[in-house]
Structure 1
Amino acid sequence: MLKSPTQKVGLSFEIAARKYLEDKGFVWIKSNYSQAGGEIDLIMLDDETLVFIEVRSRKNNAYGTAAETIGKAKQSKLLNTAEHFILSKKEFSKLNCRFDVVSYDNGKLNYIKNAFS
């Protein structure tokens, strides 16, 4: 259950990101996959590639862009959570994987394919 206005805004950006990617041909698998070590906003297929997508937003860029807020610690959590997902869903274990970012800076969408590895 969403508790705060910030969570509601985050959900609206995740929905918009999903629609954007579906319009590009991605196939949705799961939203907000979580385990003890972290959460992945969107998991989708891009042809034969399993894509883990982090969605971020910022109202202003005074302290950097939304994508720049995904530091090494967050990347590590995403990697661990993705590994957990793959181990629990054997049907995806043979696919190539990548990590993409959909960021919104002042409401403008930016898509970064292969944002980190």
Structure 2
Amino acid sequence: MRQANVYYKSQLAGVLTENDEGYEFSYLSDYLSSENAKPVSLTLPLQEQVFKSRVLFPFFDGLIPEGWLLDIATRNMDISILDRMSLLLVCCKDCIGAVSIEAIQGKEENHV
């Protein structure tokens, strides 16, 4: 299992999780109760319920670079183009726009 903090304009908004069933995204209750709370995406409106998907949510997948920048990331970091969560964690800490992604250290399990 891997997890990442999702920030909206430098405010911690929620947590994205990759697990054996796919992906989950949930907003933090502190963020939801904030008067400045905005959804990170129109496809992920503010709600207490957890969003679930078998594949990486299109919004988050869209944050991953394309073209020559993706080629550089996959080559230099030795990441498969199919490993979308790793690409998101490596490439989207400081992306263009209001949303950024930061890996939560120590949340990865080793599977044998």
Q: Same fold (TM over 0.5)?
A: no
The answer to which structure has the higher strand fraction is 1
TM-score normalised according to structure 2 size: 0.29
